[in-house]
Structure formats: structure tokens, C-alpha cells
Structure 1
Amino acid sequence: MASPRLETFCCPNRDAATDFVVTFQPTLFSALSVGSAGLSLIFTILQILPKRKGYRRLGQYPLPKPASSSRILFIISICDILGCTGIVVRSSVWLGLPNVVENISVSNSSDVWPEVFCVGSAMWIQLFFSASFWWTFCYAVDVFLVVKTSAGISTIILYHMITWGLALLLCAEGVAMLYYPSISNCESGLQHAIPHYVTTYAPMLLVLIANPVFFIRTTTAVTSLLKGRQGIYTENERRLSTEIKIRFFKIMLVFCICWIPNIINECLLFFLEVQPDISDSSLRTVRNVALITWFFMGIVNPMQAFLNTLAFHGWTGLDVDLSLQRRRELAWDSVSTSAPATGGGYNPMVGSTLLYQGHIQEGKKNTTGNGFHPSDSISVLSEGGSESSTVELHMSSEQRDADGESLENS
């Protein structure tokens, strides 16, 4: 799991609330964490591997380079995978070598490796899950900017600088304050620990508060773009708009399920920490709820990796075809411009693949002042969605173009 309490646990003179939850049934907790993280890791990797079925359906069209948001979703999955790997390693070591955990609690011990492993694994997990939070926020910003301003491909390098820079800076600052003056002799009290908790939960709260705002404003702009694309709002446009809304809802639902328990648990532990005696009988209910949410966190935190892929792409199946990876790279390299214009102002390739929001349509009638086609903005939002609906959108748009041509010829 990803909790600042596990980093606080690395201090021998940890607070009573942290010691209470971390030392309660540690074997069971580590077993649940490694099981959840291991399953999430396996299924996430299977989800993001290329599949045969997807390429057979869309094989008649060349695959363009992925949009910025497509890359962002892939990077989020990579961050989640690396975070889950850290959980698997740490929980496995704590299960197989219980002496490591016991030696952390020994003050003035000559063996520093248990503390080094504790701090290193905790920082690894915090860093990559924090980066996942920042990338999730950048995804919401990116889709809003693309749809609202029709800006084409966003600057992915800028997102890298923001996410990794902030993740590294906040993680280093929080850990430096927590382990001052040294790991074996941390300062006592809440004052030195609060900056660490703030740097851990700040990106999480940012996603919970800001992402719904960006998603709501994006879906509002999507409706206008869909209506303006053909001048009508057909069943296909309505279906695409609904899929986009459902996709945003699933992303936020997964995030809330995986991380709201952390906020609840932290509030309960802070409440216990300020009490003179956390073992008082009047605090029994608070202690029980804190333990329940603690174990729930150990299960759902690592499951974010797999649940995110379901929210992003749906279930992609198990029909993995690694031999197509080279084919995909060649297709991305060979396709740098859009398909030829097709009369009605709508690109069938964009309608069928829904992968690339930045194609500039030369010779199209229905373009904006900078040559950007409105349908390209929509494609970024529905990538990874239902393949069947994607193909239906292509067929319907192609049929409208054919009907328009037949009317002109007659």
C-alpha cells in the first residue's frame, strides 16, 4: 500500500498511532498486500500488451502515432506497475524476513540495512504513486485543453517536467523533514511529520478536487463539438458523448475507491495521535475503524493499476500478440499525415481508430481557422473505448459520406 505511515514506521521513535496500525497482524497485512499487488501487476501487464483481436478489427487502416493523452494513460499504467512492484518487494521481504521489521524498532542498532530498506521501499512506492496522481491530473488538463482550444497534440515533454519534477521535489522534501536529523533518531511530535503527510496527500487531493471540474467542463465542450461537426446531433454522436462521460466517471470512481480510504484512515490516526492514551476504552470504535480502513487500503491501493486499465480501455482480453509490436512501431513511424479527404468533412480513419487528435485535414471543408478538425479533438476522449462502437461510428460516418456523394452525382 501507499501510506506515509509506513515511512513514519521506519523511525524507531515512531508515534503510538503509527505503531498501533503497522504492528497489528503484520503477517496477514503483508500477505494481503503482496497478493493484491501481485494480481494487479499481472493483469495490468496483460491489459496493456497488444492484442490480436484489436488489430484484426482495425487492420485495414494504418495506425497513426498515439495522441498525447494516449501516452499519458500509458505512463499512468507504467507508474502504477512500478508502484505495485515496490509493494510486492517490500511485503515479500517483510513476510520472508520478519527480523527486518523487528530490527527497525531497535534504537541505536549497528545494523542500518533494515532501516535503509524500509526507507528506500517506502520512497519508491510513494514516488511512483505520487507521479501517477500528477499524471492523472495532467490527463484531465490535457483533454480539456485539446477539446476546448482545439490545440492538437499537447506538449508531452512539459507534462514530464511537471509530473516528475513535482513528484521528486515533494517526495524529497517530505522525507528530509521526516527523517531529520537522522533515520535512527527522528524528531518526535507532529511538527516534523506534517510536511511529509502534506506532500503525500496534496497531489491526491488535487486529483479528487480538480479532475471532476475539468471532466465536467470537457464533456460540456464535447457536446458542442459533436453538434458542430456535422451540423446535426445523431444517435452516433449521442452515443459517443455518453461513452466519454462514462469513461470520465469510471476514472474518478476508481480513484475514489482506491484512495479515499487513505484519507479516512489518516484522519482517524491523527485523531488517535492527539489523544493522551490511544488504548482508552472510549476510543475502541475509532481504533477498529482505523484498522478496517488500514487493511482495506492494503488491498485497494495496489489494485489501482488494474482498475485504471479497465477504466481507460475496458477489458482488452488475453489474446496477446507480441509479434505485432514491431508492426505497430513501423505503422506509427510511417504515418505522419492524415488520410485523404473524403467529401463530407469527416475523416473515416479518425472515426474508426479514434486514436489521434492532432491530424490536420488539408482540403477539408469543415475545419477551424487553424486547420484543425473538430472530430480530432473528440478522438482523444474515446480512445481505448469499445471497439464495436468505434467500428459502428466509422461505418455510419462512411455511409453518410457515400450518401452525400450519391446525392451530388444525381
Structure 2
Amino acid sequence: MASPRLGTFCCRTRDAATQLALGFQPRAFHALCLGSGALRLALGLLQLRPGRWPAGPGIASASPATSARVPASVRIVRAATACDLLGCLGIAVRSAVWLGFPSFVDDISAMNNTDVWPAVFCVGSALWIQLLYSACFWWWFCYAVDAYLVIQRSAGQSTILLYHLMTWGLAALLSVEGALMLYYPSMARCERGLEHAIPHYITTYLPLLLVLVGNPILFRKTVTAVASLLKGRQGIYTENERRMGAMIKTRFFKIMLVFIVCWFSNVINESLLFYLEMQPDINSSSLKQVRNAAKTTWFMMGILNPAQGFLLSLAFYGWTGCRLTLPGPSKEIQWDSMTTSATEGAPPSPGGPHEPGEGPAPKKDLPGGTHTSDEALSLVS
């Protein structure tokens, strides 16, 4: 799982709360992390096989002729999924080494040990996990930003470069800065007190808190803008428009539900451990319930953190994203069918049915945009 406590584990001296978490049934905990991470990797590799990845909800799989026109939102989801898979790989490798080479792990905390490789592996794996999951959080924040900007007609294909710069730049900056603050001046002194580790915890949880707080606000603004855009298509708000707006709202709700389920245990666990750190005697009988809660949420993190990618695939594609063979075309609401919703139920025209080659009336462009409303809505649907 992704926790700043993995970084403090590399310190030669550890505070009592960190030792409580890391020392509670460590073999069972790492076996749980290894199993959860390996399961996520197996499911992710099945999804990433050629021809398996759906290009996006309501979007056909990208072909060579259309790959250049893949929406930015689809690219963001793919980048976030790749970061999640690489982060799970780091968790699985770290847990496998812990289980397979216990003497190697014991050398990490040995005060007189001259072998630097245990410390290098510990710091490197902790940085790898933090960097990849931090980038994953930034990508999901960019997804919420992009959804809002697309509806407002302020985003396009060119913005994907800005998302890359923001995501990888901020993720690398925060991860390196947090590690430097934690391990300075040496790993033997990186636990001098609670204040010394606070910057490391802030840089780890800042992207997560941004997603948990910022994404619901952006999603709500997007849903409101979608309702206005749907009403502006024909000047009326039919049942099809209501269903489409509800579908987008439901998808955003599923995304946030997954984040809350998978990561809120981290926030609770860190709050409990911080509370324990501030107590004069962590082993006091009056703190037994707090210690048990911290241990419970610690194990929950090992299960739920690697499950994020799998649950998000369910939020986007349902069980379709988990099947070994993709089914036929989905029965999602088609945007083009909504352009005629205003005339549904109307009597036929005197001229009879349309002649062959005669299509529906052209879609109405909204002021201030270069794309039709169908194109804008398809990016977030």
C-alpha cells in the first residue's frame, strides 16, 4: 500500500507509532500486500492486452486512423491506469523482498551495518511507490479539470501536454522534496521528532487530499454545465437529456466513491498514528482501542490501496473491462439519437419519410466553441 510510513521504515531509528504499525504481524501484512498487488497486476495485464482496452465509454477502440483523435480524457485515464499498475508493481516487489529475504530487510535498521544496499532498496522502493501513486492522483485531478474545461469549451488536444508537465513535474517535485526533508542529514537521524517527518507526510497526502476535496467540486460544476449544455441543444430538456445527465452524474459519483473507499482508510490511519505519537505513553491501557483501530486500518490499506485500479475500471466500464473477451457494442445512449429527441412523437411530415441520403437537421453549435455539443459531451460521457 501507499503510505508515508514506508519511508520512515527506512530510518535507523523509528518513532513508537511507526514501530507499532510496521511491527504488527509484518509477515501477514506483507503477504496481504503481495497478494492484493499481484491480483491487481494480473487483472491490469489482462486489460492492457492488444485489443482488450476499450478506448473509452461510448468510444470505439482506437484504430491507426483515429488514434490521433483520441480525446484527452481517454489519454488521462490510460495514463492514470499505467501509474496505478506501476505503483502496484512497486508494492508487490517490496513485499516479495520482505517475505523472501528477511535478513536483508533486518539490515535496514541495523545501526552498525556498512552495507548500503538494504537502505538503497528501502528508499528506492518507497520513492517509487510514492511517485507513481502521486502521479496517479494528479492524473485524476487533471481528469476532473479536463472534464470541466471541455464542457466550458476551454480545453482541447493541446492541453494533454500541460497535463503531462503538471502531473510528472509536481509528483517528482513533491516526492523528492519530501524524501530530502525526511532523510536529511542522514538516515540515522531522520526521526528526530514529529516536526521532522511532517513535510514528508504532507507531500505524500497533498495530491490525495486534492482529489478527495477538489474533484467533487469540479465534478459538480461539470454536471451543472452539462445540464445547461443539454438544454441548449434543442431548447428543451427531454427524457433522453435527463438520462444522459444522470449517467454522467452517476459515473462521477462512482469515481469519487472508489477513491473514498480505497484511500479514506489511509487518512484515518495516519490521523490515529499521529494521535498516538503525541501521547507520552503509546502502550497505555487507555489507548488500547486507538491502537487496535490503527492496526485494523493499517491492514485495510494493504487490501484497498492496490484495489483502486480494478474498482475504477468497474466504475468506467462495468464488468466489461474485466472479461476475457469484449462483448458487442454496448447499449449506451447514443449522442446522435438525442438530436432528434425534440421531434420524437411528432406527426410525420406531409412529404412522407425522408428520401435516401437525407439526414437529420444539422446540429446546432453553441456560441464560443469550435466543436459541436455532441463532441464536447462525448468526452465526459
Please say if 1:318 is aligned against 2:323: yes
Query: Which of 118, 121, 124 is the aligned partner of 1:120?
Result: 124
**Helix, strand or coil at the partner of 1:193:** helix
8 Å CA contact retained: 1:250, 1:311 = yes
**Helix, strand or coil at the partner of 1:366:** coil
State the AA in 2 paired with 1:291. K
Q: In the aligned structure 1, how far is the partner of 2:203 from the partner of 2:53?
A: 43
Q: CA deviation at 1:228?
A: 1.4
8 Å CA contact retained: 1:152, 1:372 = no
Indicate the larger mover: 306-315 or 85-94.
306-315
Q: How does 1:366-377 map to 2 (within 5 A)?
A: 366-369=364-367, 370-377=369-376
8 Å CA contact retained: 1:17, 1:273 = yes
Query: Which of 61, 72, 75 is the aligned partner of 1:68?
Result: 72
Which digits, 9 at most, give the CA deviation of each residue in 1:44-82, with x for residues without a partner? 232344557979x969x9856210001000101000000
Q: CA RMSD in A?
A: 2.5
Q: In the aligned structure 2, how far is the partner of 1:93 from the partner of 1:290?
A: 25
Indicate the larger mover: 367-376 or 11-20.
367-376
Q: CA deviation at 1:367?
A: 1.3
State the AA in 1 paired with 2:370. G
Q: How does 1:32-111 map to 2 (within 5 A)?
A: 32-49=32-49, 51=51, 63=66, 65-111=69-115
Query: Which of 255, 260, 267 is the aligned partner of 2:271?
Result: 267
Q: CA deviation at 1:319?
A: 3.5
Change (3 A) 1:49 1:381: farther
State the AA in 1 paired with 2:323. L
Change (3 A) 1:105 1:371: closer
TM-score by length of structure 1 reads 0.79
Q: CA deviation at 1:154?
A: 5.1
Please say if 1:130 is aligned against 2:129: no
State the AA in 2 paired with 1:378. L
**Helix, strand or coil at the partner of 2:114:** coil
Which digits, 9 at most, give the CA deviation of each residue in 1:171-224, with x for residues without a partner? 000000100112244251012100000101111111111100000010011111
Change (3 A) 1:177 1:151: closer
Q: CA deviation at 1:313?
A: 2.4
Q: In the aligned structure 2, how far is the partner of 1:372 from the partner of 1:162?
A: 26
**Helix, strand or coil at the partner of 1:265:** helix
Q: In the aligned structure 2, how far is the partner of 1:311 from the partner of 1:53?
A: 15
Change (3 A) 1:237 1:158: same
State the AA in 2 paired with 1:372. H
Q: In the aligned structure 1, how far is the partner of 2:33 from the partner of 2:53?
A: 33
Change (3 A) 1:47 1:246: farther
State the AA in 1 paired with 2:45. I
Change (3 A) 1:26 1:54: closer
Q: In the aligned structure 1, how far is the partner of 2:301 from the partner of 2:52?
A: 35
Runs ≥4 in structure 1, deviation > 6 angstroms?
52-55
**Structure 1 residue aligned with 2:345:** none
For structure 2, which runs of at least 5 residues remain unmatched after alignment? 327-335, 342-360
State the AA in 2 paired with 1:37. G
Q: In the aligned structure 1, how far is the partner of 2:158 from the partner of 2:247?
A: 23
8 Å CA contact retained: 2:363, 2:372 = no
**Structure 2 residue aligned with 1:378:** 377
TM-score by length of structure 2 reads 0.84
